[in-house]
């Protein structure tokens, strides 16, 4: 299999097949598990609370979740504020999973070509998505376009603090810190706030217990499958890099320049 074929397989496993399995497991476990299951890999309560505060989300606003996956972060915001989220996600399985769990509007589309009107959202999130596409400038330009001029854009970016071999992380494009700044500047945006995820408060025990229960059920049901094994291998490699500082998770608040 070619490198691009392996990358496609890894992305499909994580964001399509496993996403749909996650929804099935959450439904069986019960509604208390929906949001923690839907946030696996894309947001902790402390990170989402920080984003809600610093994007200045207010009740009744329209929030775009770009590359929304299973939809947990958007559902968390809708429960906390509440806002009206719209999800954009390229993988069919994740779209179906988000509809199953949360019922918010979901559009199947690429982040670099949003089928949305200019200035049609009060704020946007894009969590853990930037490193999954080579079209990083286009993604940020699209977020700039669809968020009203005074609105904020919340970003979770995984940033490379040393050279990371591309052949070990198929389909990932981790920007170095200086390149991330260059991308933001090139899209006509500025960084208003930034926080390393390592500096966030600890995840509550109750949340972790629900995530662990989802993970256990997924492993028991699908651990024998290639899709689960590929997704877990990729997740494990990224976890190792986060642990040793090769990668850091960075929360950013962007606004128009």
Domains belonging to the chain, first-starting first, are 3-256 (3.40.50.150)
Say if residues 226 and 158 touch (Cβ distance below 8 Å): no
Residue 8 has pLDDT above 60, yes or no: no
Q: Are 187 and 140 in contact (CB under 8 A)?
A: yes
Over residues 133-147, the pLDDT tens digits come to: 999 999 999 999 999
Query: pLDDT (tens digit, 9 = 90+) per residue, 54-104?
Result: 999 999 999 999 999 999 999 999 999 999 999 999 999 999 999 999 999
pLDDT in tens, 169-212: 767 899 999 999 999 999 999 999 999 999 999 998 999 999 99
Tokens of 145: 């376009």
Terminal Cα-to-Cα distance of the chain (whole angstroms) = 43
Please give, one letter per residue, the 3-state secondary structure of the chain: CCHHHHHHHHHHHHHHHHHHHHHHHHHHHCHHHHHHHHCCCCCCHHHHHHHHHHCCCCCCCEEEEECCCCCHHHHHHHHHCCCEEEEECCCHHHHHHHHHHCCCCEECCCCCCCCCCCCCEEEEEEECCHHHCCCHHHHHHHHHHHEEEEEEEEEEEEEECCCCCHHHCCCCCCCCHHHHHHHHHHCCEEEEEEEEHHHCCCCCHHHHHHHHHHHHHHHHHHCCCHHHHHHHHHHHHHHHHHHHCCEEEEEEEEEEC
Arithmetic mean of pLDDT, 160-174: 82
Share of the chain above pLDDT 90, in %: 82
Q: What are the b/e assignments for 213-231, b being 16+ CB within 10 Å?
A: bbeebbeeebeeeebbebb
């Amino acid at each position: 299999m070619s490198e691009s074929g392996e990358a496609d397989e890894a992305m499909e496993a994580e964001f399509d097949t496993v996403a749909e399995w996650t929804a099935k497991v959450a439904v069986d476990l019960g509604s208390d598990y929906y949001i923690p299951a839907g946030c696996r890999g894309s947001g902790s309560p402390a990170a989402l609370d920080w984003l809600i505060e610093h994007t200045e989300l207010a009740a009744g606003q329209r929030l775009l979740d770009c590359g929304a996956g299973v939809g947990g972060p958007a559902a968390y915001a809708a429960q906390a504020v509440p806002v009206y989220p719209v999800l954009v996600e390229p993988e069919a399985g994740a779209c179906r999973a988000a509809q199953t769990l949360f019922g918010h509007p979901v559009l199947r589309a690429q982040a670099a070509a949003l089928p949305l009107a200019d200035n049609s959202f009060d704020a946007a999130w894009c969590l853990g998505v930037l490193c999954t596409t080579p079209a990083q400038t286009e993604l940020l330009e699209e977020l700039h376009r669809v968020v009203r001029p005074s609105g904020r854009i919340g970003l979770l970016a995984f940033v490379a603090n040393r050279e990371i071999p591309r052949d070990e992380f198929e389909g990932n494009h981790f920007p170095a810190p200086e390149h991330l700044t260059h991308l933001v500047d090139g899209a006509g945006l500025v960084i208003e706030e930034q926080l390393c995820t390592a500096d966030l408060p600890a995840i509550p025990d109750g949340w972790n217990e629900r995530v662990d229960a989802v993970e256990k059920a997924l492993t028991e049901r699908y651990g024998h499958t290639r899709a689960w094994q590929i997704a877990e291998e990729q997740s494990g490699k990224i976890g190792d890099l986060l642990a040793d500082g090769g990668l850091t998770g960075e929360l950013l608040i962007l606004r128009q320049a």
